Amino acid sequence: MKQRTLSRTYEFEGKGLHTGVYSHMTVAPAKAGSGICFIRTDLGITIPALAEFVSNTARCTLISKGEASISTIEHIMSALTGLGVDNAEIRIDNGEVPILDGSARFYAEAISADGLVEQDAERVYLELPETVEIRDEKSGGFVRIEPADHLSYDVTVDFNSHVLGVQSAHWDESVDYAGEIAVCRTFVFFHEVQFLASQGLVKGGDVDNAIVVVEHPVDESTVAHMAELFGQPKLSVTPEGYLSNLVLNFPDECGRHKLLDLIGDIRLAGGYLRARITAYKPGHTINTTAAKAVQNLF
């Protein structure tokens, strides 16, 4: 397969989920063999999209180099990977990628509409000499990356939640990434939101960009406070156990979003793998640790 890049430059803007800072971002074509890189245009610093530059994984994936850092890169990284983009340059004028609707939908829709440009170079796949497995002893989670003929992902999430249950999701290059994975939004548990807000996080959270899972009973005054936090005049709890700020795209949308994140994080290994990736209770820390372990093999 030939390497591919974007057919034109795309512009996105909006606030960051965690910082609330408004950013302008462009995603542009790049020459063959260059991979994916981020450029802080306000600082003039380029950060390659590689696991070695990951410096924080608290609630998102953050890369940094010198005085420059860029957080919440996982959704755009996932979109580029799921759509088959080898080379791209992402320019941003602030420190957090816009959250948009909490998914990779807008990236996927824009890029898919135009198609990709084939480049005059063969895609170089990362072919593992051995299986890589990273485990989180506390959660029981793991990410296992095994040599295989084709790239595939299988994810199982279990938050011990009676609302979510155990959810599983699969993606390989035969599955419609844009329609089945990209549209799946980030999620948070209701009881976590107030804590996150007290820590100065989710400053950019609103009614449009997060699924809120209501695991425990809550009274009307608490829901009213949440409505105020989301800038929504009125919210309620649905019979299924979600805040009524949005309607799910799929019953297992939360599991699919964890798959979306994993695809983006594993791309930080430095390219497309020929591997079968299996994850149980994945998260940004274990995902990016696995990506770095793969990167270190080459």
**pLDDT at 229 exceeding the cut of 80:** no
User: What φ, ψ does residue 252 adopt, rounded to 5°?
Assistant: -105, 35
Q: What is the pLDDT of residue 232?
A: 77
**pLDDT at 194 exceeding the cut of 90:** no
| Three-state SS annotation for the chain | CEEEEECCCEEEEEECCCCCCEEEEEEEECCCCCCEEEEECCCCEEEECCHHHEEECCCCCEEEECCEEEECCHHHHHHHHHHCCCEEEEEECCCECCCCCCCCHHHHHHHHHHCEEEEEEECCCEECCCCEEEEECCCCEEEEEEECCCCEEEEEEECCCCCCCEEEEEEECCCCHHHHCCCCCCEEEHHHHHHHHHCCCCCCCCCCCCEEECCCCCCHHHHHHHHHHCCCCCCCECCCCEECCCCCCCCCHHHHHHHHHHHHHHHHHCCCEEEEEEEECCCHHHHHHHHHHHHCCC
Task: Write the pLDDT tens digit of every residue in 14-37.
Answer: 999 888 899 999 999 999 999 999
82 near 116, Cβ under 8 Å?
Answer: no
Q: Would you identify the CATH topology of the domain 2-124?
A: Ribosomal Protein S5; domain 2 (3.30.230)
Task: Write the pLDDT tens digit of every residue in 88-125.
Answer: 999 999 999 999 999 999 999 999 999 999 999 999 99
pLDDT band at 130 (very low <50, low <70, confident <90, very high): very high
Q: What is the pLDDT of residue 258?
A: 98
Q: What is the pTM of this model?
A: 0.94
262 near 289, Cβ under 8 Å?
Answer: no
Domain boundaries, the chain: 2-124
**pLDDT at 204 exceeding the cut of 60:** no
Instruction: Indicate the burial class of 225 (C-beta count within 10 angstroms; 0-12, 13-18, 19 or more).
Output: middle
Catalytic, 284? Answer: yes
Task: Write the pLDDT tens digit of every residue in 38-66.
Answer: 999 999 999 999 999 999 999 899 999 99
71 near 40, Cβ under 8 Å?
Answer: no
96's tokens: 């957090």
**pLDDT at 206 exceeding the cut of 80:** no
Q: What is the pLDDT of residue 207?
A: 59
Mean pLDDT of the chain: 94
207 near 132, Cβ under 8 Å?
Answer: no
Task: Write the pLDDT tens digit of every residue in 238-295.
Answer: 999 999 988 999 999 999 999 999 999 999 999 999 999 999 999 999 999 999 999 9
pLDDT band at 201 (very low <50, low <70, confident <90, very high): low
Tell me which of 110-114, 185-189, 222-226 is least confident: 222-226
Matching residue, tokens 């816009």:
98
Instruction: Tell me which of 18, 75, 257, 284 is the catalytic residue.
Output: 284
